[in-house]
A and B are shown apart, each in its own frame.
Chain A
């Protein structure tokens, strides 16, 4: 082919190829694949929009006219969800826990990762693989011993207990990812700082941490979403007092209760209320969130 049209640049060769036969195959395929792409988009959009619409219906309407638009905007559902359903309190509980658990995870994770990435010492590899292996452990196996461990030190059903457990179970991925990240940072800057007389601690806090900012942001987002969505650990470790529930657990309790109280309007309103902050954050930071969550995948 190259010998036949030696002078033709690649750009002008393409329209010619397209003109002969290729477009028809392209059109059929395009039609099919466009249709399929839209179908999947609708599969995401329709249930979400539908639940938002349902949250404005009365409970009777939800059961009798699921496909219809709400007759009138029944704001009462949201008031019920907020006051009777305690959605507001669950939000505050979750934020209270996560302020400490996310910052704790990041601080401890960064410290461990930095040392593991930048210092050679006996036991380095063992500790690193110890953390990395934790990514694979099925958490079910540890649930009961963990329950007992916290009970023994009086931290069961406390936020302090939940916070340290969140930190411990977020460490494997955080350390694994940040170790790889600290390794990629240039050594020149660190050496210059040492020449200028910086100690180990100043080097970490004033030089290395600022340089690692992109990695830290990505993994912070990862941990925020992971801990916000955590369900199994609070289910087991915070089971005693329903008022102390974090958001996903509180919603689940609401869903269970709805089974016999039958106020599905309030349940959907609560679900929508829980979805709103996530939705706003997602729209605003969609690129960062996608990068943060898939960060571990890019070696």
Chain B
């Protein structure tokens, strides 16, 4: 079996590794290089200008600084809210029900809820964007929330939620949470399923309520999964753009109130023709993602519990 080993390995790796190197690794490497130049993207001439783009980036009050602020907010709010809701729903649907004959089950209808919650996950962002844009639309355009608020006599923003500086970012985050919760519900559910039931049964015999069960048993045993979810959601948060592109006025407005880092990169690269500057922002994003992963892996470590 030794015979023909290396030709075989080579023949199996050549195509995938070649394609990956050409279309993924190389463009990323080029982006790093471009970020050190003054290239507009359309001409063939450029000069190396060192780290000027990086310095200017943090002086760009118009787009970059608001975008950094908004992405920062999303980076905190999205994981916290999604993980909290996901854990709560997973706990209720798997273990929250009454115990019958000493067996713990989820609440009634949990199968139905699970199927419903997960559904937004399979919808494309384009569909989600169109759907929620109409839900948030102003009353004159037939918005669902504004219409419902109007019907019960409550005030609603005149131009809808997305054209209002105060609400637009929250509205976008709401949609992000809406589509992510189902995934983390299923994710945490499968992790909870691997916790042996007798631990809970023992806890019930000892008189533990559901709050105690959750905080003293479930959460500590799920810590690894929570950490994984955190990394996933952080990456999602850093990559938010398509929803902003689909839903908000001026793709980041009104008045840059929903500008995000991904959107600013896209704008500078494909609309303003400032390729080098766009790449510099991309590099910052790259290192943000990298350090987040490293930090959460390093400080999130807890004692492993065998069960």
A47 within 8 A of B: yes
The answer to whether A286 touches B26 (Cβ under 8 A) is: no
Q: Is the CB of A131 within 8 A of B20?
A: yes
Q: Chain B residues near A279: list those with CB within 8 A.
A: 119
Interface string of A106-120 (1 = CB under 8 A from B): 001101101100010
Asked if A10 and B102 sit within 8 Å, CB to CB, the answer is yes
Question: A30-B107, A200-B8 given as contacts; is B123 within 8 A of A275 (CB)?
Answer: yes
Given A115-B9, A136-B289, A144-B31, verify A252-B102 contact (CB < 8 Å). Answer: no
Contact yes or no, A267 B130, CB < 8 A: yes
B239-A114 in contact (CB<8A): no
Binds B, one of A69-77, A181-189, A212-220, A288-296: A288-296
Cβ of B123: which chain A residues have Cβ within 8 Å of it?
Answer: 229, 275, 278
List B contacts of A13 (CB < 8 A): 102, 205
The reply to whether A111 and B16 form a contact with Cβ atoms under 8 Å apart is: yes
Structural contact, A297 and B228, CB atoms closer than 8 A: yes
The answer to the question of A43 belonging to the interface, with a C-beta cut-off of 8 Å to chain B, is yes
The answer for the CA separation of A134 and B20 in the assembled complex, in Å, is 9
Residue on A with the closest CB to B85? A40
Q: Are A44 and B120 in contact (CB under 8 A)?
A: yes
Report the minimum CB–CB distance from A223 to chain B (whole Å): 13
User: Are A255 and B130 interface neighbours, CB within 8 A?
Assistant: yes
Given A138-B286, A236-B270, A200 and B4 touching (CB < 8 A)?
Answer: yes
A157 at the interface (CB under 8 A from B): no
CB distance from B213 to the nearest CB of A (A): 12
Interface size class of chain B, counting residues whose CB lies under 8 Å from the partner chain: 35 or more
B156 interface residue per 8 A CB criterion: no
> Residue B54 at the A interface, CB < 8 A?
no
Residue from B27, B93, B99, B204 within 8 A of A37 (CB atoms): B93
Contact partners of B186 in chain A: CB under 8 A: 290, 293-294
| Most A Cβ at <10 Å: residue of B127, B132, B190 | B127
Tell me if B151 counts as interface (CB < 8 A to partner A): yes
B293 to chain A, nearest CB (A): 6
Complex contacts, A63 vs chain B, CB 8 Å: 140-142
Additional A-B contacts beyond A30-B107, A66-B144, A140-B262 (11; CB < 8 A): A10-B201, A25-B209, A37-B107, A112-B13, A137-B24, A140-B282, A143-B266, A143-B269, A144-B31, A144-B34, A255-B126
**In the complex, the 9 A-B pairs of residues with the closest C-beta atoms, listed nearest first:** A141-B282, A66-B142, A145-B27, A168-B23, A248-B126, A142-B27, A229-B124, A145-B30, A112-B16
